[in-house]
Amino acid sequence: MTDPGLPLAGMCVVEVSSFVAAPLGGMTLAQLGAEVIRIDPLGGAPDHHRWPLAPSGTSLYWAGLNKGKKSASVDLRSAEGQQLVTRLITDSGPDGGIVLTNSVGRDWLSYDALVPHRPDLIHVQIEGHHDGTPAVDYTVNAAVGFPMVTGPEGHADPVNHVLPAWDIACGLYSALGILGADRQRRVSGRGQRMSVALYDVALAAAGNLGFLAEAQVSRVVRKRYGNYLYGGFARDFTTRDGGRVMVVALTKRHWADLLTATELVDVVGALEKSLGVDFASEDDRFEYREVLAGLLSRWFSRADLAGVKAALAGTSLLWSTYNTFTDLVADTGEGPEIAGNPMMALIDQPGVGPHLAPGLPVSLDGSSPRPVRAPVLGEHTDDLLGRLGLSGGEIADLHERGVVRGTDG
Amino acid sequence: MTDPGLPLAGMCVVEVSSFVAAPLGGMTLAQLGAEVIRIDPLGGAPDHHRWPLAPSGTSLYWAGLNKGKKSASVDLRSAEGQQLVTRLITDSGPDGGIVLTNSVGRDWLSYDALVPHRPDLIHVQIEGHHDGTPAVDYTVNAAVGFPMVTGPEGHADPVNHVLPAWDIACGLYSALGILGADRQRRVSGRGQRMSVALYDVALAAAGNLGFLAEAQVSRVVRKRYGNYLYGGFARDFTTRDGGRVMVVALTKRHWADLLTATELVDVVGALEKSLGVDFASEDDRFEYREVLAGLLSRWFSRADLAGVKAALAGTSLLWSTYNTFTDLVADTGEGPEIAGNPMMALIDQPGVGPHLAPGLPVSLDGSSPRPVRAPVLGEHTDDLLGRLGLSGGEIADLHERGVVRGTDG
């Protein structure tokens, strides 16, 4: 049951998906209150055993990206299985008729195949490129330029991101497309055929942030600046005891506070005067970043992490220590640090056990919708077939003939 | 005018924003058809001159993140200016009353201050942390673990991403919150108070992808794997002539095609037999990734880029060359490669000139909504005041007294 108080209560989305983008898009709609039914082929899609894994072998990745959904397991190669999924899509009430998929090569699941059965169909096809050729986060990332400007200064090789940022953005864009189309359908009754290409998501980001125009209009050949902030002042510093701190001075006030905290007001003032520059200006801070970082790093390297934290705590400055994932879940004596975050809650996932999981990172009326565990593959197969009006005997027959499966595989 | 055929036609959003997240959220709603009014203080918010810049000094970043919006420039410290913005928010028709902001410390702009004037208010506050303490992409990134697993193997220092991935996701989540709340308001008439914390967006991603559970449940201390794919086989390779190619083998078919294309079927088959492993399994491919990459890199280093492209072109394999931003905009004789992408179109931005800009990376009924240039600061101030019923004389008086500005600053 979805929570009737959530924004998307009543909406029903069928997802035929794998990996990150489509599952995240669907999960986000589920977190906002929609009923989201993930359809998998018998035995699961290729992401069903994707790393990272729990000690039991259960995929933490699959469990993390499919929280709060229903799961049906169907032989998608059989005409009968295809017809059942088609009915789940089309016979789903006025707030249903919504498909989110990254599946390719399944003609029966296309907009054109489904729309005769559901004229107000809302259909989102996630694809690699707009022409339908395949791509994944790693190839799109290589194609669009970011690995050539990421990583240590002077490093010669591309540095790929580990965060699948394009998949995440693509999934969120696909959910936005669905909600936009749902609004239009409420106003006008018409459905919508949409596609979101992973490559286009990445190219749009490069354009929106000015990277493409900088190359095209300003003819700047962007290089690597390590952990410096381009066009301003930010960098990481190491403390005497090996602590690592990221420090960001975006505004004049940040900069003034940083100089005061690090006892560099006079030294930097004298430097400004002798150079004839103004470090209150971001341009000058970036131009002289190495000089400024050199002075600052002396202060950081003489202090221990506790001292740095104490000195920066009362300031306006933007700063953070660097954490590992292990740091975030380490028991501090009062449980892990992240357990205090109101978005996080314990869920008990079959094959994983109790662990902290995030809910929706959007707080509604002051609280985040709580996380709901992921289904086990095929957990809702029978319920969903029952909803289509099939009798217990008919459902048993479908199992017998291998058209559908429950949690037994 | 917004396009009446777009999904969000009629919706009106007021944005008091800066930097990436809130502006991108608003721009995405504008690209889907909403009227989005960005309010700036006189002279612009702190992002108005953010790098990268055009040769004229115009910010390509600001221009890129505010496309298709209206701009009003108002003295936000004056009570009169605050009242005008309040009226723009509240007197905006049944599909208005929507605020998107990352501004802090402006009590008059809070949900509680505005809701008495507009009971069905939809209000999204973007913040650093859920407790209201500030953070930016760079500090959140440090806090949440990804820089410690990104970058070359064996590298000791954190590697920050250059793509502000958390800002992008945060902006898209905020737009999703607005569309969810808009749907709920249509159904029930009630508004919604929302907040999206940048840190929570990052923490949720770390949780959704299984990174947190891997540390907590599996007690794996994740390390850097360079450009290898965790738990599968993917890596970058260098060709004889210095070309760089990212290669991803996710499925058995990809792997088989990669071995065939690189003439390694027999060698890898013999290796499998002698080691007693099965490289059709992703786990084994990851376990022996260095051995496999060593064999593959010999083939890549003997071929030139054109030969590699020819060998991989007909296969199922996922692969891409690495490009720089300059490569993407370089004239290939028939204009830049990206000019052929149907999402990209020429816009003529004041202070920048004609350049290729992305539209929405969601195609609707087969085509992407075209990009619309960003406003000049204050370009719509007078139009918007006129909409509130102010006369020409009253508007001139507001200019005179410095409460509002047009494009003169």
Chain A residues touching residue B183 (CB < 8 angstroms) = 7-8, 11, 179, 182-183, 186
pLDDT at B409: 60
Nearest to A197 by CA among B359, B361, B27, B325: B361
Q: How far is Cα A41 from Cα B152, in angstroms, rounded to an integer?
A: 37
pLDDT greater than 80 at residue A205: yes
- Of B157, B204, B368, nearest to A361 by CB-CB distance is B204
Domain range summary for chain B, segments of one domain joined by +: 12-206+341-405, 233-321
Contacts of B350 in chain A (CB under 8 A): none
Q: Considering the entire predicted model, what is its pTM?
A: 0.98
CATH of domain B233-321: 3.30.1540
- Looking at the partner chain, which of B8, B20, B231 has a beta carbon nearest the beta carbon of A50? B231
Determine, for residues A60 and B151 on separate chains, whether the beta-carbon distance falls below 8 Å: no
Residues contacting residue B211 through CB under 8 Å, at least 6 positions apart: A52, A325, B145, B222
- A70 three-state secondary structure: strand
A388 to chain B, minimum CA–CA distance in Å? 26
- B261 to chain A, minimum CA–CA distance in Å? 18
Cβ atoms of B370 and B345 closer than 8 Å: yes
Per residue in A151-163, pLDDT tens?
Answer: 999 999 999 999 9
pLDDT band for B245, please (50, 70, 90 cuts). very high
Task: Compute the distance between CA of residue B72 and CA of residue B93 in angstroms, rounded to an integer.
Answer: 18
Residues 6+ apart with CB under 8 A from A396: none
Distance CA B18, CA B101 (A): 8
- Kind plus residue range of the DSSP H or E element containing A140: helix A137-144
Which has the closest alpha carbon to B193: B127, B105, B94, B128?
B127
Cross-chain Cβ contact B234/A65 below 8 Å? no
Pairing of strands B98-101, B12-16: parallel
Rounded to an integer, what is the distance from CA B220 to the centroid of its chain? Answer: 30
Could you give the CA distance from residue B168 to residue B26 in angstroms, rounded to a whole number?
Answer: 12
Which residue, chain included where needed, has tokens 């496999």?
A: B292
Provide, as residue numbers in chain A, all residues whose Cβ is less than 8 Å from the Cβ of B182: 183
- SS3 at position A379: coil
Q: Chains A, B: CB contacts under 8 A, how many?
A: 496
Say if CB B128 and CB B136 are below 8 A apart. Answer: yes
Report the alpha-carbon distance of residue B246 to residue A409 in Å, rounded: 34
Instruction: Give the closest of A174, A181, A356 to B7, CB-based.
Output: A181
Rounded-to-integer distance, Cα B374 and Cα A292, Å: 35
* A286 neighbors A230 (Cβ within 8 angstroms): yes
Nearest CB neighbour to B139, from listed A54, A150, A246: A246
Kindly report the nearest CA distance between residue A222 and chain B, in angstroms: 8
Is the Cβ pair A325, B139 closer than 8 Å?
no
How many Å is the maximal CA-CA distance in chain A?
Answer: 89
- Pick from B192, B18, B171: which is nearest to A172 by CA? B171
Cα–Cα dist B178/B124, whole Å: 7
Which residues of A are less than 8 Å from B49 in CB distance?
Answer: 282
- pLDDT at A145 > cutoff 60: yes
Query: DSSP class of residue B210?
Result: T
**pLDDT value, residue B333:** 86
Does the pLDDT value for residue B385 go beyond 90? Answer: yes
Q: Residue B339 class from Cβ within 10 Å (0-12 exposed, 13-18 middle, 19+ buried)?
A: middle
Cα–Cα distance for residue pair A109/A92, rounded to 1 Å: 16
Phi-psi region of A242 (alpha: psi -120 to 50; beta: other; left: phi over 0): left
Q: What is the pLDDT of residues A304-348, one digit of tens each?
A: 999 999 999 999 999 999 999 999 999 888 889 899 999 999 999
Cβ pair B286, B230 in contact under 8 A = yes
Q: Could you give the angle at the alpha carbon of A265 between the alpha carbons of A261 and A271, nearest 5°?
A: 140
Q: What is the dihedral of CA A47, A53, A55, A58, to 10 degrees?
A: -20
Coil, strand, or helix at residue A291? helix
CA distance B83 to chain A (A): 25
User: DSSP secondary structure string, B260-311?
Assistant: HHTT-HHHHHHHHHHHT--TTSHHHHHHTHHHHHHHHHHHHHHS-HHHHHHH
Give me the pLDDT at residue A332, please.
Answer: 83
Tell me how far apart the alpha carbons of residues A150 and A134 are, in angstroms, rounded to a whole number: 25
DSSP-derived secondary structure for B301-355: HHS-HHHHHHHHHTSS-EEEE---HHHHHSB-SSSBGGGGSTTEEEEEETTTEEE
Dihedral sign computed on CA atoms, order A164, A166, A172, A178: negative
Bond preceding residue A375 cis, omega within 30 of 0:
no
Residues of A marked as catalytic: 167
The domain made up of A12-206+341-405 is a member of CATH 3.40.50.10540: yes
The pLDDT score that the predictor gives to residue B334 is 83
pLDDT at B382 over 80: yes
d(CA A103, CA A108): 11
| DSSP 3-state of B207 | helix
| Residues A258-308 pLDDT 10s | 999 999 999 999 999 999 999 999 999 999 999 999 999 999 999 999 999
What totals of helices (H) and strands (E) does chain A contain, helices first?
Answer: 16, 13
The angle subtended at Cα B388 by Cα B386 and Cα B392, nearest 5°, is 30
pLDDT of the residue at B53: 98
Output the pLDDT for position A203: 98
User: Do residue B328 and residue A206 have CB atoms under 8 angstroms apart?
Assistant: yes
From CA A258, how far away is CA B90, in angstroms rounded? 40
Q: How confident is the model at residue A98 (pLDDT cuts 50, 70, 90)?
A: very high
pLDDT at B216 (0 to 100): 96
Residue B79 DSSP symbol: H
Q: Which residues of B touch A25 (CB under 8 A)?
A: none
C-alpha angle A202-B7-B352 in degrees, rounded to nearest 5 = 50
Taking the C-alpha atoms of residue B134 and residue B142, their distance in angstroms, rounded to an integer, is 14
B230–A193: do the CB atoms touch at under 8 Å? no
The alpha carbon of residue A395 is apart from the nearest alpha carbon of chain B, in Å, by 32
- Are B179 and B31 in contact by the 8 Å Cβ rule? The answer is no
Contact B206 A325 (CB under 8 A): yes
Q: Say whether pLDDT at A409 is over 70.
A: no
> What is the identity of the amino acid at B254?
H
Question: Which residue, among B66, B320, B367, B368, would best test binding to A if mutated, counting the most A CBs under 10 Å from its CB?
Answer: B320
Question: What's the DSSP call for residue A77?
Answer: T
Q: What is the pLDDT of residue B2?
A: 67
| Residue A49 contacts residue A396 (beta carbons within 8 Å) | no
Look at residues A380, A376, A336 and name the one whose alpha carbon lies nearest to residue A358. A336
- The DSSP result for A153-218, as a single string, is TT--S----SS-HHHHHHHHHHHHHHHHHHHHHHHH---EEEEEEHHHHHHHHHHHTTHHHHHHTS
Whether residue A114 is predicted with pLDDT greater than 90 in this model: the reply is yes
Using a CB-CB cut-off of 8 Å, the residues of chain B touching A169 are 165, 168-169, 172
Cβ distance of A216 and B329 shorter than 8 Å:
yes
Pairing of strands A70-74, A98-101: unpaired
pLDDT for position B136: 98
Do the Cβ atoms of B318 and B20 come closer than 8 Å? no
B390 vs chain A: nearest CA distance in angstroms?
Answer: 32
3-state secondary structure of B89: helix
Place of tokens 């970082």: A293
CA distance A13 to A19: 17
Retrieve residue A176's tokens: 């936005």
pLDDT of residue A333: 85
Closest-CA residue of chain A to B220 = A326
User: Which residues of chain A neighbour B308 with C-beta distances below 8 Å?
Assistant: none
* Best residue in A58, A176, A252, A355 for a mutation probing chain B (most B CBs within 10 Å): A176
Would you state the pLDDT for residue B337?
A: 87
Q: How far is CA B377 from CA B44, B63, B321, in A?
A: 7, 10, 39
pLDDT at B297 over 80: yes
- Chain A residues with beta carbon closer than 8 angstroms to that of B56: none
Q: How far is CA A44 from the centre of its chain?
A: 22
Q: What is the pLDDT of residues A17-52, one digit of tens each?
A: 999 999 999 999 999 999 999 999 999 999 999 999
Task: Look at B142 and A212 and tell me if their CB atoms are within 8 Å.
Answer: no
Query: Residue A318: enclosing H or E segment and its boundaries?
Result: strand A318-321
Smallest Cβ–Cβ distance between A160 and the set B197, B227, B326 belongs to B227
Mutation pick from B8, B24, B60 vs chain A, by most beta carbons of A within 10 Å, is B60
CB–CB of B55/B351 below 8 Å? no
Other beta carbons less than 10 A from residue B280's beta carbon: 13
- Nearest by CB to residue B323, choosing from A51, A145, A226, is A145
The pLDDT of residue B184 is above 60:
yes
Question: Is-contact A26 A36, C-beta < 8 A?
Answer: yes
Q: At what angle do helices B137-144 and B165-188 cross, to 10 degrees?
A: 100
Q: Which two tokens stand for residue A8?
A: 């998307």
